Protein backbone atom coordinates (compact mmCIF):
# COMPACT_ATOMS: atom_id res chain seq x y z
CA UNK A 1 0.00 0.00 0.00
CA UNK A 2 1.46 3.39 -0.92
CA UNK A 3 1.78 6.09 1.68
CA UNK A 4 2.82 9.72 1.91
CA UNK A 5 6.17 10.60 3.58
CA UNK A 6 4.18 12.41 6.30
CA UNK A 7 2.33 9.18 7.05
CA UNK A 8 5.61 7.32 7.57
CA UNK A 9 6.80 10.10 9.88
CA UNK A 10 3.57 10.14 11.86
CA UNK A 11 3.83 6.39 12.39
CA UNK A 12 7.49 6.65 13.46
CA UNK A 13 6.59 9.41 15.93
CA UNK A 14 3.59 7.48 17.25
CA UNK A 15 5.86 4.55 18.03
CA UNK A 16 8.19 6.83 20.00
CA UNK A 17 5.22 8.26 21.91
CA UNK A 18 3.97 4.90 23.15
CA UNK A 19 7.49 3.56 23.77
CA UNK A 20 7.53 5.27 27.20
CA UNK A 21 4.83 5.89 29.83
CA UNK A 22 2.92 8.92 28.60
CA UNK A 23 -0.15 10.37 30.29
CA UNK A 24 -0.16 13.82 28.73
CA UNK A 25 1.29 15.26 25.52
CA UNK A 26 1.28 18.93 24.59
CA UNK A 27 1.69 19.75 20.93
CA UNK A 28 2.75 23.31 20.42
CA UNK A 29 4.65 23.17 17.18
CA UNK A 30 2.95 24.50 14.09
CA UNK A 31 3.81 21.27 12.28
CA UNK A 32 0.83 18.96 11.87
CA UNK A 33 2.85 15.73 11.69
CA UNK A 34 3.39 15.46 15.48
CA UNK A 35 -0.30 16.20 15.97
CA UNK A 36 -1.19 13.36 13.58
CA UNK A 37 1.19 11.07 15.49
CA UNK A 38 -0.48 11.89 18.80
CA UNK A 39 -3.92 11.27 17.41
CA UNK A 40 -2.71 8.01 15.91
CA UNK A 41 -1.42 6.86 19.31
CA UNK A 42 -4.75 7.83 20.90
CA UNK A 43 -6.84 6.17 18.19
CA UNK A 44 -4.79 3.00 18.68
CA UNK A 45 -5.99 3.03 22.25
CA UNK A 46 -3.21 4.67 24.24
CA UNK A 47 -4.76 6.44 27.28
CA UNK A 48 -3.10 9.77 26.52
CA UNK A 49 -4.46 13.25 27.17
CA UNK A 50 -3.62 15.65 24.33
CA UNK A 51 -3.33 19.40 24.73
CA UNK A 52 -3.30 20.83 21.24
CA UNK A 53 -2.18 24.41 21.55
CA UNK A 54 -3.20 25.42 18.07
CA UNK A 55 -6.76 24.25 18.46
CA UNK A 56 -8.99 27.30 18.13
CA UNK A 57 -12.22 26.01 19.64
CA UNK A 58 -11.95 24.15 22.89
CA UNK A 59 -8.48 25.46 23.65
CA UNK A 60 -7.51 23.36 26.66
CA UNK A 61 -6.29 26.27 28.76
CA UNK A 62 -8.41 28.58 30.86
CA UNK A 63 -5.60 30.66 32.36
CA UNK A 64 -4.31 32.10 29.12
CA UNK A 65 -1.04 31.40 27.41
CA UNK A 66 0.94 30.99 30.63
CA UNK A 67 -0.92 27.81 31.58
CA UNK A 68 1.09 25.54 29.27
CA UNK A 69 4.30 26.66 30.96
CA UNK A 70 2.87 26.36 34.45
CA UNK A 71 1.52 22.92 33.59
CA UNK A 72 4.93 21.87 32.34
CA UNK A 73 6.60 23.39 35.37
CA UNK A 74 4.35 21.20 37.51
CA UNK A 75 5.63 18.12 35.76
CA UNK A 76 2.28 17.35 34.16
CA UNK A 77 3.55 17.36 30.56
CA UNK A 78 5.23 14.04 29.83
CA UNK A 79 6.08 14.80 26.23
CA UNK A 80 6.56 17.88 24.11
CA UNK A 81 7.69 18.38 20.51
CA UNK A 82 10.31 20.84 19.35
CA UNK A 83 12.07 21.63 16.11
CA UNK A 84 14.79 24.13 15.30
CA UNK A 85 16.29 26.25 12.56
CA UNK A 86 19.47 24.41 13.52
CA UNK A 87 19.94 21.29 15.64
CA UNK A 88 23.42 20.16 16.60
CA UNK A 89 25.07 16.92 17.65
CA UNK A 90 24.56 17.68 21.36
CA UNK A 91 20.83 18.22 20.72
CA UNK A 92 21.16 21.97 21.20
CA UNK A 93 18.41 23.87 19.40
CA UNK A 94 18.71 27.18 17.60
CA UNK A 95 15.47 29.02 16.96
CA UNK A 96 17.12 32.46 17.06
CA UNK A 97 19.18 32.72 13.88
CA UNK A 98 22.67 32.80 12.43
CA UNK A 99 25.29 35.51 12.24
CA UNK A 100 25.80 38.08 14.95
CA UNK A 101 23.20 37.94 17.77
CA UNK A 102 20.21 38.20 17.43
CA UNK A 103 20.48 36.71 13.94
CA UNK A 104 21.91 39.37 11.64
CA UNK A 105 22.58 36.79 8.91
CA UNK A 106 19.39 34.70 8.99
CA UNK A 107 16.81 35.50 11.62
CA UNK A 108 14.45 32.72 12.71
CA UNK A 109 11.24 33.75 14.50
CA UNK A 110 12.61 33.26 18.03
CA UNK A 111 12.84 30.80 20.86
CA UNK A 112 9.14 30.69 21.81
CA UNK A 113 9.07 28.70 25.06
CA UNK A 114 11.81 26.25 24.07
CA UNK A 115 14.40 27.42 26.63
CA UNK A 116 11.94 26.36 29.33
CA UNK A 117 9.97 23.51 27.77
CA UNK A 118 13.02 21.51 26.67
CA UNK A 119 14.23 21.37 30.26
CA UNK A 120 10.91 21.04 32.08
CA UNK A 121 8.89 18.58 29.97
CA UNK A 122 9.21 14.92 30.90
CA UNK A 123 10.87 14.39 27.52
CA UNK A 124 10.97 15.98 24.08
CA UNK A 125 10.81 14.53 20.62
CA UNK A 126 12.68 16.66 18.11
CA UNK A 127 11.07 16.78 14.70
CA UNK A 128 12.43 18.46 11.60
CA UNK A 129 11.55 17.24 8.10
CA UNK A 130 14.48 18.97 6.38
CA UNK A 131 17.54 16.76 6.89
CA UNK A 132 20.54 18.67 5.56
CA UNK A 133 23.96 19.87 6.75
CA UNK A 134 22.39 23.36 6.88
CA UNK A 135 19.93 22.28 9.58
CA UNK A 136 21.78 19.44 11.33
CA UNK A 137 25.02 21.17 12.25
CA UNK A 138 28.08 20.32 14.32
CA UNK A 139 27.44 23.29 16.60
CA UNK A 140 24.47 25.66 16.47
CA UNK A 141 25.26 29.35 15.90
CA UNK A 142 23.21 30.27 18.98
CA UNK A 143 21.75 28.00 21.63
CA UNK A 144 18.06 28.76 22.17
CA UNK A 145 17.63 25.67 24.32
CA UNK A 146 20.45 23.41 25.47
CA UNK A 147 20.46 19.67 24.81
CA UNK A 148 22.11 18.84 28.13
CA UNK A 149 22.57 20.73 31.40
CA UNK A 150 25.20 20.96 34.09
CA UNK A 151 24.72 19.43 37.53
CA UNK A 152 23.06 21.88 39.91
CA UNK A 153 20.59 23.02 37.26
CA UNK A 154 17.08 21.58 37.54
CA UNK A 155 16.23 19.61 34.44
CA UNK A 156 13.37 17.14 34.17
CA UNK A 157 13.92 15.68 30.72
CA UNK A 158 15.89 15.60 27.50
CA UNK A 159 15.44 14.76 23.86
CA UNK A 160 14.12 11.24 23.44
CA UNK A 161 14.74 11.19 19.70
CA UNK A 162 15.19 13.28 16.57
CA UNK A 163 12.96 12.35 13.65
CA UNK A 164 13.78 13.83 10.23
CA UNK A 165 12.78 13.23 6.65
CA UNK A 166 15.59 10.68 6.38
CA UNK A 167 15.84 8.81 9.66
CA UNK A 168 15.20 8.33 13.36
CA UNK A 169 17.95 9.16 15.86
CA UNK A 170 17.81 8.31 19.54
CA UNK A 171 19.58 10.69 21.94
CA UNK A 172 21.80 9.70 24.85
CA UNK A 173 21.84 12.63 27.29
CA UNK A 174 24.65 11.09 29.37
CA UNK A 175 27.00 11.16 26.40
CA UNK A 176 25.33 14.12 24.69
CA UNK A 177 25.25 12.24 21.41
CA UNK A 178 22.74 10.98 18.84
CA UNK A 179 22.47 7.33 17.81
CA UNK A 180 21.03 6.42 14.41
CA UNK A 181 18.21 3.98 15.08
CA UNK A 182 16.59 3.53 11.65
CA UNK A 183 16.71 4.99 8.16
CA UNK A 184 13.57 5.70 6.16
CA UNK A 185 12.91 3.70 2.98
CA UNK A 186 15.35 4.76 0.24
CA UNK A 187 18.01 6.01 2.70
CA UNK A 188 21.18 4.32 3.99
CA UNK A 189 23.52 4.94 6.89
CA UNK A 190 25.87 6.53 4.38
CA UNK A 191 23.25 8.79 2.79
CA UNK A 192 22.24 9.95 6.26
CA UNK A 193 25.86 10.59 7.21
CA UNK A 194 26.37 12.62 4.05
CA UNK A 195 23.39 14.81 4.85
CA UNK A 196 24.24 15.33 8.53
CA UNK A 197 26.55 18.04 9.80
CA UNK A 198 27.19 16.39 13.15
CA UNK A 199 28.86 13.13 14.12
CA UNK A 200 26.64 10.38 15.49
CA UNK A 201 26.77 6.74 16.54
CA UNK A 202 24.97 3.93 14.77
CA UNK A 203 22.85 1.49 16.72
CA UNK A 204 23.83 -2.14 16.51
CA UNK A 205 20.45 -3.14 15.17
CA UNK A 206 20.00 -0.19 12.81
CA UNK A 207 17.42 -1.01 10.15
CA UNK A 208 14.72 0.53 8.06
CA UNK A 209 12.00 2.64 9.62
CA UNK A 210 8.92 0.40 9.43
CA UNK A 211 6.38 1.37 6.81
CA UNK A 212 2.91 2.22 8.08
CA UNK A 213 0.69 -0.81 8.43
CA UNK A 214 -2.70 -0.97 6.77
CA UNK A 215 -4.31 -0.48 10.16
CA UNK A 216 -2.24 2.63 10.83
CA UNK A 217 -3.05 4.08 7.43
CA UNK A 218 -6.75 3.43 7.92
CA UNK A 219 -6.65 5.28 11.23
CA UNK A 220 -4.63 8.17 9.79
CA UNK A 221 -6.92 8.62 6.82
CA UNK A 222 -10.10 8.21 8.85
CA UNK A 223 -10.42 9.13 12.51
CA UNK A 224 -7.08 10.99 12.75
CA UNK A 225 -7.93 13.12 9.73
CA UNK A 226 -11.35 13.88 11.21
CA UNK A 227 -9.77 15.21 14.40
CA UNK A 228 -7.24 17.35 12.53
CA UNK A 229 -9.47 18.85 9.87
CA UNK A 230 -10.45 21.99 11.79
CA UNK A 231 -6.90 22.94 12.77
CA UNK A 232 -4.93 21.75 9.73
CA UNK A 233 -7.23 21.83 6.70
CA UNK A 234 -4.40 22.37 4.19
CA UNK A 235 -2.38 19.47 5.58
CA UNK A 236 -5.35 17.13 5.65
CA UNK A 237 -6.23 18.00 2.08
CA UNK A 238 -2.68 17.47 0.84
CA UNK A 239 -1.74 14.32 2.77
CA UNK A 240 -5.00 12.52 3.44
CA UNK A 241 -7.15 14.27 0.84
CA UNK A 242 -7.49 11.98 -2.18
CA UNK A 243 -7.68 8.88 -0.11
CA UNK A 244 -10.28 10.26 2.23
CA UNK A 245 -12.41 11.37 -0.69
CA UNK A 246 -12.36 7.82 -2.11
Partner 1 sequence: MITLEEMAASVPDGALVALPPDNSLPSVALAKALARRGAKGLRLLGVPVSGFATDLLIGAGCVAEVQTSACSLGEAGFAPRFTAAVKAGTIRVVDATCPAIHAMLQATEKGVPFMPLRGIIGSDILANRPDWTVIEAPFTGERIVCLPALEPDVAAFHAPMADEAGNVWIGRRRECATLAHASRRALVTVERIVPGNFLEDERLAPGAISATYVSAIAVAARGAHPVALLDEYGFDAAYVAEYARMARTEAGFAEWAAREVFAPRREAA
Does 174 sit near partner 1 (CB under 8 A)? no
> CA 55 to CA 5: how far, in whole Å?
24
Smallest distance from partner 1 to CB 37, Å? 20
Integer Cα distance of 16 and 13 in angstroms: 5
Rounded Cα gap, residues 129 and 164, in angstroms: 5
* Of 192, 157, 3, nearest in space to 81 by CA: 157
Q: Is 91 in the site for partner 1 (CB under 8 A)?
A: no
Q: Is 75 in the site for partner 1 (CB under 8 A)?
A: yes
Q: Between residue 211 and residue 230, which ones bind partner 1 under the rule CB under 8 A?
A: none
Q: How many angstroms separate the CA atoms of 106 and 194, rounded?
A: 24
Minimum Å distance from CB 183 to partner 1? Answer: 30
CB of 157 to partner 1, least distance (A): 11
Phi/psi at 63 (5° precision): -120, 25
Please state the closest distance from residue 14 (CB atom) to partner 1, in A: 21
> Three-state DSSP class for 59?
coil
**Contact flag: residue 59 with partner 1 (CB under 8 A):** yes
Candidate ranges 5-13, 108-116, 197-205, 221-229; the one touching partner 1 (CB under 8 A):
108-116
* Residues in contact with 58: Cβ distance below 8 Å, sequence separation at least 6, in sequence order: none
Which one-letter DSSP state was computed for residue 223?
A: I
Position among 27, 96, 136, 224 found at the interface with partner 1 (CB under 8 A)? 96
The minimum distance between CB 161 and partner 1, in angstroms, equals 20
Q: How far is CA 151 from CA 154, 155, 174, in A?
A: 8, 9, 12
CA 21 to chain centre: 17
Under the criterion CB under 8 A, does residue 69 sit at the interface with partner 1?
yes
**Minimum separation from the CB atom of position 152 to partner 1 (A):** 5
Q: Which is nearer to partner 1, 8 or 143 (CB)?
A: 143
44 binds partner 1 (CB under 8 A): no
Distance of CA 199 to the CA centre of its chain: 20
Q: Which is nearer to partner 1, 156 or 243 (CB)?
A: 156
DSSP 64: G
Nearer to partner 1, 134 or 193 (CB): 134
CB of 239 to partner 1, least distance (A): 16
128 belongs to the binding site for partner 1 (CB under 8 A): no
* Cα dihedral 197, 38, 3, 190 in deg (nearest 10): 20
Contact positions vs partner 1 (CB under 8 A): 24, 30, 49, 51, 56-66, 69-76, 95-97, 101-105, 107, 109-120, 142-146, 148-150, 152-154, 234
Amino acid sequence: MSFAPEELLACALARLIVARPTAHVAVGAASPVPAAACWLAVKRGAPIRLSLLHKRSGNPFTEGSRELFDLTGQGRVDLFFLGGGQIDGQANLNLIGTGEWPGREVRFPGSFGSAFMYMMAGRTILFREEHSPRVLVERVAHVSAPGVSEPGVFRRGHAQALVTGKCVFAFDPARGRFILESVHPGETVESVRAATGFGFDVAAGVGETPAPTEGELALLRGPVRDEMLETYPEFCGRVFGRRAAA
